[in-house]
Amino acid sequence: MAEAHQAVGFRSSLTSDGAEVELSAPVLQEIYLSGLRSWKRHLLRFWNDFLTGVFPASPLSWLFLFSTIQLSWFLQLDPSLGLMEKIKELLPDWGARHHGLRGVLAAALFASCLWGALIFTLHVALRLLLSYHGWLLEPHGAMSSPTKTWLALVRIFSGRHPMLFSYQRSLPRQPVPSVQDTVRKYLESVRPVLSDEDFDWTAVLAQEFLRLQASLLQWHLRLKSWWASNYVSDWWEEFVYLRARTPLMVNSNYYMMDFLYVTPTPLQAARAGNAVHALLLYRHRLNRQEIPPTLLMGMRPLCSAQYEKIFNTTRVPGVQKDYIHHLCDSRHVAVFHRGRFFRVGTHSSNGLLSPRALEQQFQRILDDPSPACPHEEHLAALTAAPRGMWAEVRRSLKTRAAEALEAVEGAAFFVSLDSEPAGLTREDPAASLDAYAHALLAGRGHDRWFDKSFTLIVFSNGKLGLSVEHSWADCPISGHMWEFTLATECFQLGYSADGHCKGRPDPALPQPRRLQWDLPDQIHPSISLALTGAKALSANVDCHVFPFAHFGKSFIRRCRLSSDSFIQIALQLAHFRDRGHFCLTYESAMTRLFLEGRTETVRSCTREACSFVRAMEDREKTDPQCLALFRVAVDKHQALLKAAMSGQGVDRHLFALYIVSRFLRLQSPFLAQVYSEQWQLSTSQIPVQQMHLFDVHNYPDYVSSGGGFGPADDHGYGVSYIFMGDDMITFHISSKKSSTKTDSHRLGQHIEDALLDVASLFQTGQHLKRRFRALGEEDSRHRCGFPSSTGGSKASMTSSNC
């Protein structure tokens, strides 16, 4: 979600005080180390690899094969065609008494070899099948005979009841695109935003790059793709995230919201108890690989590698580069409340604590009257400071407060019990949602531990939220966990009539342990400086959230269009009306069809989209003409999205070429220009992956309202959106208040208008614009009486749990 800001700023991570930092390691050595890291990860997962590596077979299948061979041997049949006799001859002779044992061992060895050969054949066949991407290129709603045949074969070779990592060995590696194709697609993508003179100059640089440097850089990338698991993902993690020296807050983290209209209980400790218990249940299922792998079309598996670091993970700051510290297990959470830190155990001798017991522990913290120690209250602001500064301070902190620091960094995750309420309110729905988003993204600058993989935020009125560090995984992974958490804590665990967690407290539990920080005097100025910077960064973010309920996915589906492409083209129209010009647009697409794939960029501002926008602003153009151009723009966006998902995107390939050029110390004016560009519009769709957990028809309010991230550019916007059920879309918009060119609320109004204008082009949607324009300030587009995105009237809400 927030990766566009890091993608723009990663070049600064290769500089120090304005001077270029050379990557001293030879490129071949770096490629060798990339492969070594890949193999090391496989060895560390040896046991899980054994359990899942035999998939789609199972250990029982070996027993069945061995029993069949033994039975055949008993019936004086030799299925091995003499091989078992040769194996027996190679075994030691233990005498006549053990002659039968030699036969059993020979049968076991032959069965093992045959079993392994069959599994290897299945893996190779499945990998070849999964390398087929023709299904992606087919028209929406259509399926050719080859694709039907492919689906049938995948179903045959995939086996039954896969575990989370069952498909990892069978996933293909991400291909390295043709450098000529990448450069051609890049030039096509920048044509709408460059003048004729600038485009001609860029084309000259591109041709010079292809002639002089491209082949050498491409050769190194192909070498890495053969040796390492993924030719780009480890460099993406290192250079885009871990080497970035800017603060994590706003620049890199992102947030996820609770239910929009419903809060299951107003009791803060109870909501925290159920949520923490649900998260740890998810971790338990994750450790046992009981989470089903994500399947596209119910058949095509996605890579599950990113799930490994959800819990027990901290990003540790370094002077020049951070690193990710992951523990195999952790049996406590770190809790922050009113400037104090606590260690709360999550397990007893009988296993995981019940929700009611966890609620009791959180209530003890809320009832604790002890004050924060000097400077302890603002200590976490250091995690929102520039990374180099925090790394220097952490060295001192580790020598004087090692136990407390270890308790926080070694926790399963971080919990912040906020003293203020949040969420949708009757008094000012629009402002309250904006404040809710801002509290999740930045808080007060000192009440989140931004280094942790995620922070669970529980507000005083029982509202929940999540702040997520980005380097370890992308949004769909944390989103999957969050969907499980909300569904489990609300529907599975539930609450008693008085709002408490179900069950009984456990008075025998020890009190939560208060963490003691011995803060040396020399770090006090650093804490104050970090707090000042965090407050300034937080105050500069303009967040705006609005649910759009005129129509949703069902209307777009009736128009026979891709819902994501529909929104993306409408965003181009909205942004043009807001700024008066076109700009490079970043949309995040996943590449998890490949082993250890992460994301690729879809450059949504295409010539086709620009033609549609100009037509919409031209009063002489008729609706049928605009509709035809809109369909062309949607088709183009779909083609770009499918190319990105199938490993044929532009930006990751150019990024990897740039990194190789830095290792080789080759100066490339073309690549330098590519990474001098700014993404003034960064967008992302938050997928809903587990609709079976929610009953959207009977309980439409019980769906997560998505999340958001900070803008990628000081004069740009960050826009995320989620389809809530079939008839609502929630938008999250961010920008910088310091910019005179942007206004999140203004863009929100333009998005609303653009969506209605686009919908009115369709015969089935013409009534929408007339209907809701007539309603004006009193429009009823939001359930619970939510007003228009610019504020609107304050109608009464129908839900008592808003």
Q: What is the pLDDT of residue 163?
A: 85
Q: What is the pLDDT of residue 791?
A: 38
**From 470, 500, 575, 637, the catalytic residue:** 470
Ordered domains of the chain (ranges, CATH): 1-52+181-243+649-677 (no CATH), 56-133+145-160 (no CATH), 244-296+306-540 (3.30.559.70), 549-646+678-775 (3.30.559.10)
636, 638, 639, 641: CA torsion to nearest 10: 120
Q: What is the pLDDT of residue 20?
A: 52
Q: What is the pLDDT of residue 64?
A: 77
Q: What is the pLDDT of residue 49?
A: 57
Q: How far apart are CA 225 and CA 674, in angstroms?
A: 23
- Please give the sequence-ordered ranges of beta strands (E in DSSP) within 145-303, or none if there are none: 254-257, 295-296, 300-301
Tell me phi and psi for residue 741, to 5 degrees.
-100, -15
Q: What is the pLDDT of residue 479?
A: 94
Q: What is the pLDDT of residue 706?
A: 92
Q: What is the pLDDT of residue 784?
A: 44
Using an 8 Å Cβ cutoff, are 257 and 705 in contact?
yes
Q: How far apart are CA 554 and CA 570, in angstroms?
A: 17
Q: CA of 478: how far to CAs of 162, 466, 599, in Å?
A: 21, 9, 15
Which tens digits make up the pLDDT trace of 608-649? 999 999 999 998 889 999 999 999 999 999 999 999 999 999
Q: What is the pLDDT of residue 54?
A: 53
| Residue 780 structure tokens | 């009823």
Mark the ranges of the chain whose per-residue pLDDT is less than 50. 16-19, 775-802
For residue 141, the tally of other CB atoms under 10 A from its CB is: 7
Using an 8 Å Cβ cutoff, are 150 and 174 in contact?
no
Does 715 qualify as catalytic in the annotation?
no
Q: What is the pLDDT of residue 602?
A: 97
Tell me phi and psi for residue 704, to 5 degrees.
-60, 140
Q: What is the pLDDT of residue 42?
A: 61
Q: What is the pLDDT of residue 694?
A: 81
